[in-house]
Amino acid sequence: MKNFLFLFDSPEQFTGLVIRLTLALVILPHGCQLLFGWFGGFGFSTTMKFFTETERLPWLIGFMVIMLQSVGALFILLGFGSRILAFGTMIMFIGMIFTSHLKFGFFMNWFGTQKGEGYEYHLLVIGLCIALVFSGSGRFSVDRLLVQYMKA
């Protein structure tokens, strides 16, 4: 078990805290839309139907997208497994670019003049994920408490 502590180890600095709070607070509301239907979302069943029938994603991938954006974002907010979840989120957002957003170009559809959304938001999330993978969860994180407990 101690061989894997580096995945959770994190210096006590504010950088990781700021990165993970920013990332989680942007993604978590989207996850709540997908999972619960909050904030004008469609909820789990309708979202899964969209992913599998319209986007033609395998059921498991659709499920993982919903879980990463909801439960995963909540865990990132708490600083639990942040490096692992940030890496998974990065892979997910790269997949989103190539499966759904690349064809609409770089810019988001701010004025409703495009047929879909571009990928500029996705690049920002990917950048935050990369920073979190390298920095760790930072201060006030479950990861730090876990490592301190395991080393004791």
- Sequential pLDDT tens for the chain (152 residues): 556 667 787 888 899 999 999 999 999 999 999 999 999 999 999 999 999 999 899 999 999 999 999 999 999 999 999 999 999 999 999 999 999 899 999 998 888 888 889 999 999 999 999 999 999 999 999 998 888 887 76
H-helix segments, the chain: 14-36, 43-49, 59-67, 73-78, 82-96, 120-135, 142-151
Query: 52: which residues sit within 8 A by CB, 6+ positions away?
Result: 58, 59, 62
pTM of the model as a whole: 0.90
